[in-house]
Amino acid sequence: MEAAGWLRKLESRIAGVRSHAAWQLGRLGETGAVPALIRLLESDENEDVRLTAAWALGELGDVRAVPALEAAGERDASADVRSQAREALHRLTGEKGGE
Amino acid sequence: MTTFGWYTDKVCEHYQNPRNVGQIEDADGTGVVGNPVCGDMMMITIKVEDGRIADIKFKTFGCGAAIATTSMVTELVKGKTLEEALQVTNKDVADALGGLPPIKVHCSLLAEEAIRAAIEDYRERQAGGGGT
């Protein structure tokens, strides 16, 4: 499937499909997905989706994601998401984040 | 049969002898959920005839509970109408396996999502919206 197909899947009602699509877009290096991935990181109700969105944003290396990753690294309700966001931020900026 | 601590015999049996393993090449619907970042990834392919799931196969990359839950969900929905299959919940899957450790309940949720995704994909294809 091409990037446009995975972008559509980010809108699926099924959380597992959204998280899979986020992973695929990160693997593909699809920077056009950055705004949609930021939205997922900021507001998706599912922890796995937010976690994968954070990972994908780290892979894509687009500085537009820095504020959202910083916020998630500090304030996400899930410890796993906070950890993944800090790791992604480290990959993106080269600066190691603290706990 | 080898037993594995707090897993039920049914979970161990489906882990060691999973049903409906594989991939239907000319599938009518494909559902893929999860990813390696989160842990488990499941793919279910279905053939639909007269509104029923005539054939179903799965591939799961994940833990033993993930394999067992996907195996069980394929057993539960095979031969059912699409509407009946959509009524199958993760609790039905877990109950059919004799229960799951709390930390593995998310596997049954992912298995439920995988069949729902395959049916959604089938319906999108039928509507002309393309598919996976």
**Helix/strand/coil percentages in chain A, nearest 5:** 75, 0, 25
Q: What percent of chain A has pLDDT over 90?
A: 88
- Which phi and psi (to 5°) does residue B50 adopt? 50, 40
Sorted by sequence, the CB contacts under 8 Å of residue B117 that are 6+ apart come out as A12, A14, A16, A17, B31, B32, B33, B44
Going by C-beta distance under 8 Å and a sequence separation of 6 or more, which residues neighbour residue B22?
B57, B58, B59
Complete domains list, chain B, with CATH: 9-126 (3.90.1010.10)
Q: Identify which of B35, B36, B120 has the shortest CB distance to residue A14.
A: B120
Q: Which amino acid is at B34?
A: G
Could you confirm whether B38 is annotated as catalytic? Answer: yes
Q: Which residues of chain B fall below pLDDT 50?
A: 131-132
Helix (H, G, I), strand (E, B) or coil at B89: coil
How does pLDDT run across B16-34, given as a tens digit for each residue?
999 999 999 999 999 999 9
Contact B107, B65 (CB under 8 A): yes
Using DSSP, state whether B63 is helix, strand or coil.
coil
d(CA A97, CA B82): 48
pLDDT band at A99 (very low <50, low <70, confident <90, very high): very low
A9 three-state secondary structure: helix
CB B15 within 8 A of CB B64: yes
Using CA atoms, how far apart are residues A83 and A38, in angstroms rounded to an integer? Answer: 16
How far is the alpha carbon of B6 from chain A, nearest alpha carbon, in Å?
A: 25
pTM of the model: 0.90
* Residues 42-101 in B contacting A (C-alpha not used; CB under 8 Å): 42
Of A1, A16, A22, the CB nearest to B132: A1
What pLDDT sits at residue A96? 59
Q: Could you report the per-residue pLDDT of A63-80, keeping only the tens digit for each?
A: 999 999 999 999 999 999
Q: Is the dihedral of CA A72, A73, A76, A82 positive or negative?
A: positive
Measured between alpha carbons, how far is B7 from A51 in angstroms, rounded to an integer?
28
Nearest chain A residue to B35 by CA: give it: A20
